[in-house]
Chain A
């Protein structure tokens, strides 16, 4: 099986506390997984999630606080909204909507966080990497010509290196 590439976007408060506690307890966490930390999941815009797919991520997980726990108030609600919209866009792009996952935690739930990460990894591994077919099949069903999908295909955006 080809190794999938995963990105986590993590709120600095409850989920990061879980992640940190899990790390300090030396719990085993997936290797093919990178984490971006932000102050609040409300900080993330839809573009960043899409960018991750653009740059070749096979799955993105948003780790956030429970709705009522947000330190700043509306963070998780914005998170839900972003996820819903990006899922629609993913659908249009022909990428499986399941590849974007949203999970919320309380500060003491380190076991839950680690198992959520493993579940996420398992799920995306089952789906496999985002393939050309996955994207193009969708475009084909929408009646868009192959050459159009080729030029808009995600993998062909050059990685924006410095």
Chain B
């Protein structure tokens, strides 16, 4: 939760492991006694109970409320480094204690910044899914902050060479947010319309929906998105955001690799020029793919989009010499010339007329030349080019087309859907045949001699190697033979000359950074890999672009690789009862019609089909990383999908274990200096757990006293004397979610119109550091003497009540602690939570808000300074009772450097026998310590207050008065000597503060008999020591800010206030005229205001809730409704 300091020397702090109430208690005792601690828990917050709450016998329904103030104080305590979502990687003992390495998982939503405005939930496309990735912290955790469930990247995204985020665009499509979905596609793929048609979609092969029924038709959905855009407007790529760079880059070739490389270089700010040898751009997309698969309109539109985004394309411009480019001022060149040369069959008679390569033939078709197709056409090969050539041949008027493939159907590299379409169009496929000889007549092909094959043993590719069956030759008549057995690069033939090498297949040799042998020349796509897929070439183009950018920036990029996730969480499980739903297939034009033209075969999804198909996605990774939430959180900056895990090392003198499952090695528990807070699973009582927490804190403290920082009395800064009549109104918009923008503006304007209001501002978020800064700066600049803050903050006070939450607390910390504004000049109203139902009209919202604002305005007129002051506490501790409890307590406090005085055997001076159940167990003196020890004494009375107790006793018959700052009643219940009987009934207050060892008189501590039934005497002593240390180590006690004042002119000394105060905090003191006047004892007062209500003459008054203020609210709120 908190940022750990990034200093190189490991931080020294006590390690607390695990969540739950026991850990909370430990943290309270350590932090409040001035000891730094690192608190590590696997859970997302610290209230997750290791055994679950079912295991507790008594569970008060309101218990979690009672822990809220404590939780808020501790998680924002400056000495607490609170690490949630964290685990211990290693822990080992060295000379300074335990050296621990903690790994905190990435917190994608920053707990310190999240305002809980829930804008992210509103825009999340998966919010209505069965597993919404964004959730609020559980209701018992006092924060509005959100948590984000993120898993490994989904399989489809990992399978895509370009890493296109299929899950995100499916999620957005399912929510009918097509424009955003397309934006997601375009982040990684500038050619969605093209890929939506011709991609071999490896994403679908790994789709987990296939485990249920069939893979989601991801590619078709992408095609739909591109088509949907094209219906409304021409495709448009996102604007280049990076600043322009002076370097010029040449890209040679405008195929998928060239276009992609050019696009990403353009996005980096470079000036990019593509040189294309052919008349039109597109490379193999145009030359090797038929128009009925990839309509030229789509191709042209997407190329045009790249041109419009800033890339220059020169067509009909073959590059002769790369060196010339450098002479022309280009600083780098990317060679993406592809693989356009058909491989030859290398069989006799191949030179005959009528034998053409597939790519050659398709290029002729593209260039508008009829390649002379007639009669019977044989196509050799089984890849996409073969199918493309065969289908083109059908359309160009071939009498019959037969495909000859040497392996089985299942091994054809062509997409099965296309093989099916080809067969529908009447193309026959002969499997397991290979050409042996072309038989020609008059220089033109007449027949092809083929041989049957059988499938042999698998080769290194895993496929079975076809072997010819001897004597199975047969002859197939042919008017034309199209050879489609593959291509190879032919950049040399294309005339590109440079100083780089090629292998036997004509492929350019590049290193891992896509650099060729010639400096500044890079290569990507088929020219590097040999013929491959469209998306593979694009991925190459993109990676090469990154390398070029790194090269020109003088940086070195590590070889590109897919970023492996640090989070080893699995995908969301597939629900067992998920209904099976068939995959949607695109409609196609009928085979008997389509085979006569080059119009597109597949017609694409309708909107309904696309949405329904997208809904089939299982959303494997929970969060789909569409980043819609990051955009709405831009001002707040809490969400960052790219956060990394943190590794923090620190030194701990001691370790306290609250949950044994969270430590890597159970043997650790047996070691010295390691304490554990009971076994949660065996303890059935929450009080046991809390006392055990205190006990381990007490023991740990004694070993780390040198880490202690003493509390510093906060300097009361003189507040500038701002003008009381200058009022400022600040309306928090809660990142725009408080109310509709129009309503907020009207509320602000209504604030401005109130008399005396000279400034009325909208704040984007009051609990955000920048929001607080805006308020603080305005208050100072405008010298505002009264400030009304309209937000979710209910009060400006320093303490936290059971209704508070982290956001409200944070706003106050920023404004009053960090910026040092005067909290008593603030009136805050919680508008956010009390506007009521969200379906209110704008008028209703404004009416309600202005009502609240008016009340706040009234209250702001009657604010008076809060009580401030401190009581000093020294380190003198008097322990009465030298039982095991007392000794344990004395020893532990002595080790921490307190000035301890121990009376071993106590009796009562008035001779009253001690209660039977509290046995006095005097034990031997403690040797070798600084404790001042007295064997026995008879106690007469204990008087005073925290920081100034006076104990009257008889030692060896002599009456003595001993001063101390704190008194511990180790096992004698001498309480009646120390305080009025009327204070005895105050159990609840202390129960809610979880201070089991405190007495109603602050500063006197005791061990109750029932505590000794829960823990051993030593542990009780340790817990007692922890409680004493939390008070005494702080060195001062702050006055309660709501402590009342007495107006001596009005007080008539009736004593009703004294009578009613349950904390003995009011006493009557005589004034110089002999009359009695009430006086509030600052160190005892808890600010309840009981005495104020009781006072018959309104001589007492309490700041923030003053008599006048309450009356005015009552009066004015009633009056305004007339």
Contacts and interface: CB of A to CB of B under 8 A. Distances in A.
B1089 A73 contact: no
Interface string A146-162: 00000000000001111
Interface string A47-69: 01001100111000000000011
Contacts of A37: 794-795, 1105
Given A39-B1042, A68-B988, A161 B1115 contact: yes
A93 to B, nearest CB: 16
A40 B833 CA distance: 22
B1090 A72 contact: yes
A57 to B, nearest CB: 5
A10 to B, nearest CB: 11
B123 interface: no
Nearest to B834: A23
Given A24-B833, A160-B1111, A56 B1088 contact: no
Interface stretch (A12-20, A83-91, A95-103, A135-143): A12-20
A14 B62 contact: yes
A26 B1114 contact: no
Given A17-B803, A162-B861, A74 B1119 contact: no
A71 B1118 contact: no
Given A23-B834, A48-B1110, A73 B985 contact: yes
Contact of A55 (B66, B795, B1118): B1118
Nearest to A45: B1093
Contacts of B85: none
The listed residue with most A CB atoms (<10 A of its CB), out of B65, B794, B1115, is: B1115
Given A23-B830, A28-B837, A74-B1062, A42 B1088 contact: yes
Interface string A1-16: 0010101000011101
Contacts of B1105: 37-39, 43
Contacts of B1087: 39
Contacts, number: 153
A51 B837 contact: no
A42 B1090 contact: yes
A5 B1062 contact: no
A5 B802 contact: no
Interface in B795-816: 795, 801-803
Contacts of B1119: 55-56, 159, 161
A34 interface: yes
B1114 A7 contact: yes
Contacts of B836: 23, 26, 28-29
B837 A57 contact: no
B1094 A45 contact: yes
Contact of B1114 (A42, A51, A69, A70): A51
A101 to B, nearest CB: 16
Interface string B1085-1114: 011111011110000001001010011111
Interface string B830-858: 10011011100000000010000001001
Contacts of B1121: 3, 5, 32
B986 interface: yes
Nearest to B808: A20
A117 interface: no
B1012 interface: no
B1093 A52 contact: no
Contacts of A69: 62, 988
Given A38-B1105, A55-B1114, A106 B62 contact: yes
Contacts of A56: 1118-1119, 1122
Contacts of A75: 1088, 1090
B1117 interface: yes
B803 A40 contact: no
B62 A12 contact: no
Nearest to A57: B1118
Contacts of A3: 1121
A55 B1102 CA distance: 23
B1116 A161 contact: yes
B1115 A74 contact: no
Interface string B1064-1101: 00000000000000000000001111101111000000
Nearest to B1087: A39
Given A14-B62, A36-B1114, A48-B1111, A73 B803 contact: no
A145 B802 CA distance: 52
A78 interface: yes
A20 B803 contact: yes
B989 interface: yes
B61 interface: yes
Nearest to A65: B988
A13 B1094 contact: no
Contacts of B66: 107
Interface of B: 61-62, 64-66, 794-795, 801-803, 830, 833-834, 836-838, 848, 855, 858, 861, 985-986, 988-989, 992, 1042, 1060, 1062-1063, 1086-1090, 1092-1095, 1102, 1105, 1107, 1110-1119, 1121-1122
Interface of A: 3, 5, 7, 12-14, 16-17, 19-21, 23-24, 26, 28-29, 31-32, 34, 36-40, 42-45, 48, 51-52, 55-57, 68-75, 78, 82, 106-108, 159-162
Given A28-B837, A45-B1095, A72-B1086, 8 more contacts: A23-B836, A36-B1114, A38-B1105, A40-B1089, A42-B1094, A73-B1062, A160-B1111, A162-B858
21 contacts: A17-B801, A26-B836, A26-B837, A26-B838, A38-B1105, A39-B1089, A44-B1110, A48-B1110, A52-B1114, A55-B1119, A56-B1118, A72-B986, A72-B989, A72-B1062, A72-B1086, A72-B1088, A107-B802, A108-B61, A108-B65, A159-B1118, A159-B1119
Q: What 7 A-B pairs come out closest when comparing CB atoms?
A: A43-B1089, A107-B62, A23-B833, A73-B1062, A72-B1088, A107-B65, A20-B803
